[in-house]
Amino acid sequence: MKLKKLTADQWIRFGVLAVCLLFCLGSLVWCCIGLAKGRELSTVLTCIASIALLFIPELSQKLFRFKMSTLVYLLILIYAVTPTLGHSYEWYTKVKGWDKFMHTTGGIVFAMFGAYLPKLFCKKEECNLWVCILFGFCFSIMISVLWEFYEYFCDTFLGKDMQKDTILSIIHSYKISDNPISIIGSQNGITGVIVETVNGQVTLPVNGYLDIGLVDTMHDMLVETLGALVYCVAYIIDKGKYTAFHYIPKTTEQKTE
């Protein structure tokens, strides 16, 4: 039996996949060892999730009948590793803007897949340009919203802090107004927060008002929407000629076998 020769693209895909997989496996071992030193279990789970995500591109091509361009394939592999870098190696706090980079990249990746969905539903490679753009944009925003729901669930019911806090020096609210029915109250120049508890007062170690996730959530959704918008604009300029995913009809697949 003759072995099928791999093309240059296939070698590149296999090589990057192998490197990413080895990195995640090594990180998994490192995090497991770190459990004895007080490292959070979630760092181990993140490594496992990244390993699973590395196989999503290949499985998706088989399941959803498309051929993914090599550049997009590599982009998704790298994107699958970023959660491990962010959480297990603490890049979320050590690298400024890492979280926003991930959300922006996610906006692009999910818009790519969303733009392919009409082709999958219609079972043909050629589809209306504006339908693909609409699907891509809306699908990306939907994933963004669902992810923020997930973060809120983890923070509320599991005691996590995925929706990162923001320090503000000014707030606007009806609750701090002399007339809370019709006038918005404002507080400027906030330099600290004192919390009243059953055990007395606690002064939080922050230089301002502690927002508990709203600003971070909105910024995440904004940058992910921006990523989706960037891809949609590129899709319009390109007129859908060089799409990330190409539909593979059954007849074409049968001829190649």
- For 138, the enclosing helix (H) or strand (E) is helix 129-157
- Model confidence at 128: pLDDT above 80: yes
The residue-averaged pLDDT of 74-87 equals 92
- Model confidence at 124: pLDDT above 50: yes
- Model confidence at 254: pLDDT above 80: no
| C-alpha separations of 66 from 84, 103, 133, 165, 214 in Å | 28, 25, 18, 40, 38
The answer to whether the beta carbons of residues 50 and 83 sit under 8 Å apart is: yes
Sequence-separated (6 or more) residues with CB below 8 Å from residue 30: 88
How high does pLDDT run on average in the chain? 89
- Model confidence at 248: pLDDT above 50: yes
- Model confidence at 48: pLDDT above 90: yes
Nearest-angstrom CA–CA distance, 166 and 144: 20
- Model confidence at 201: pLDDT above 50: yes
Q: With the CA atoms of 196, 199, 200 and 202 taken in that order, what torsion angle do they form, in degrees rounded to the nearest 10? A: -70
Q: With the CA atoms of 181, 183, 189 and 192 taken in that order, what torsion angle do they form, in degrees rounded to the nearest 10? A: 0
- Model confidence at 173: pLDDT above 60: yes
The residue-averaged pLDDT of 50-67 equals 90
pLDDT category of residue 1 using cuts at 50, 70 and 90: very low
pLDDT for the residue 159: 86
pLDDT category of residue 241 using cuts at 50, 70 and 90: confident
